[in-house]
Amino acid sequence: MTQPPGKMLRFGDVYPGVGFGLVVAAALLWTVPFLWMIVSAFRPPESGAPAMASLVPDYLPTLANFREAWASADFPRYYLNTIVICGGILSVQIVTMSLAAYAFARVKFPGRTVFFYLFLIQLMLVPIVLLVPNLTTIVQLGLYDTLPGVMAPYFATAFGTFLMRQTFRTIPIELEEAAVIDGAQWWHLIRHVYLPLSKPALLAFAIISVTAHWNEFLWPLMVINSPDYRPLTVGLAVFTRGAEGAQAWGVNAAGTFLVIAPLLVCFALFQRRFVNSFMTSGLK
């Protein structure tokens, strides 16, 4: 195959379709645990352990595993705790990252760039490194074994601040100047100028934040001791270690499906908005 002068030959040009095939193969491999969970969750309990290991749905679907899982664990309370944690974290994050982003994007002060880069160092820290310092701080503040104790370390977000700063910088400064002429203060600018024009970025960040904290396990496990404050992930772990779920694969799969079902439903209903938010938020 001859190569035109000045043009770099790409792998896809030599072997067309190979890249697509590799992506499809990786996607299928990634979906195997998810498919097994669905097949096992709807499989009759009397099928036995060997049948539970099969990916072939050779049975009439039943909800028996879901009924047993729902009756064996306090899923309504787990759902409520998880919603409170995710909603509380996101609400505070929107306030803190919007204020910080406006300061880094529009307010001129000495060392602004240096402070911004120091702030972004948080992105390079592995979360597990901060477990012990965060737990110590939570205990000293008297927030151990409380939902605010789970939420507090995430109230400030380096990624959200970076995302909103980049979004604020794309908004024409003329809009701010016009609002200032009309008597707007800086908090009016954020509330009525910058945030309404940053909805795609806010939605993209909300997706990331809610998904991450909905699936968070290690930090709530360390902070929460009372059964009344357990989120879904910790509640599911306790349930699977108990006598009800230790040997019941189908019940475990049904419980796992109950944990991730809200995220799946939200993605199915708002898939187009999710994709559009990432396409227009700078996460390209």
For range 159-165, the mean pLDDT: 92
Separation CA 35–CA 29 (nearest Å): 10
What DSSP designation does 193 have? I
Task: State phi, psi for 49 to the nearest 5 degrees.
Answer: -60, -45
Mean pLDDT of the chain: 85
Residue that wins the pLDDT comparison between 6 and 63? 63
What are the sequence ranges of the domains in the chain?
Answer: 70-279
* pLDDT value at residue 90: 96
* pLDDT value at residue 280: 60
Does 55 have pLDDT greater than 80? no
Q: Model confidence at 22, in pLDDT bands (50, 70, 90)?
A: confident
CB 250 within 8 A of CB 45: yes
* pLDDT value at residue 243: 47
Task: State phi, psi for 277 to the nearest 5 degrees.
Answer: -65, -40
What DSSP designation does 57 have? -
What DSSP designation does 191 have? I
Most distant CA pair in the chain, distance: 74
Supply 96's token pair. Answer: 């803190």
* pLDDT value at residue 229: 94
Of the given ranges (141-155, 176-190, 260-274), which has the lowest mean pLDDT?
Answer: 260-274
Domain 70-279: give its CATH architecture: Orthogonal Bundle (1.10)
Residue 26, H or E segment: helix 18-41
Does 169 have pLDDT greater than 80? yes
